[in-house]
Amino acid sequence: MLLAITPMQKSIHPEFIEATVVCSCGNTFKTKSLKPSISIDVCSKCHPYFTGEHKFIDTQGRVESFQKKQQLAQTMQKAGGSKSKKKGGSGDSEPKSLKELLGDL
């Protein structure tokens, strides 16, 4: 059984034009795309994998907020304060056993 070969349809594929890609580090290069310009955050000139440098890529301020939390935790630790206060003024650091808890009822 032979299948009939039909020719490819014409004019259904989009036209690719030359596009300029602009990185946030300032690097630009040309490629083909449907859009005339593309904006990116990281390229091969500034990505830590390709450069071998360790740097934070932060677009929403997550690194700064994490560093602030770490500094606050260190200052609280140095001051001797903690967020959680123990309830019950007995001062025992060991929790009561189940038998002792049931005896209190």
In the sheet that 37-40 helps form, which strands lie side by side, from edge to edge? 28-33, 17-23, 37-40
Examine residue 1 and state whether it is found in any structural domain, yes or no. Answer: no
Examine residue 86 and state whether it is found in any structural domain, yes or no. Answer: no
pLDDT for position 30: 95
8 A C-beta contact, residue 28 and residue 45: no
Examine residue 23 and state whether it is found in any structural domain, yes or no. Answer: yes
Question: H-helix or E-strand containing 69?
Answer: helix 62-79
Range of the domain at 26: 14-53
Domain count, the chain: 1
Phi, psi of 51 (to 5 degrees): -90, -25
The gap from C-alpha 59 to its chain's centroid, in whole angstroms, comes to 9
Examine residue 20 and state whether it is found in any structural domain, yes or no. Answer: yes
Terminal-residue alpha carbon distance, the chain: 88
User: Quick count: other Cβ atoms within 10 Å of Cβ 42?
Assistant: 16
CATH code: domain of residue 25: 4.10.80.400
Each residue's pLDDT expressed in tens, for the chain with a length of 105 residues? 567 777 778 888 888 999 999 998 889 999 999 999 999 888 888 877 767 676 666 666 777 888 889 999 999 888 875 555 555 555 556 777 888 888 777
Examine residue 71 and state whether it is found in any structural domain, yes or no. Answer: no
The gap from C-alpha 5 to its chain's centroid, in whole angstroms, comes to 50
Regarding pTM above 0.85, the answer is no
Examine residue 38 and state whether it is found in any structural domain, yes or no. Answer: yes
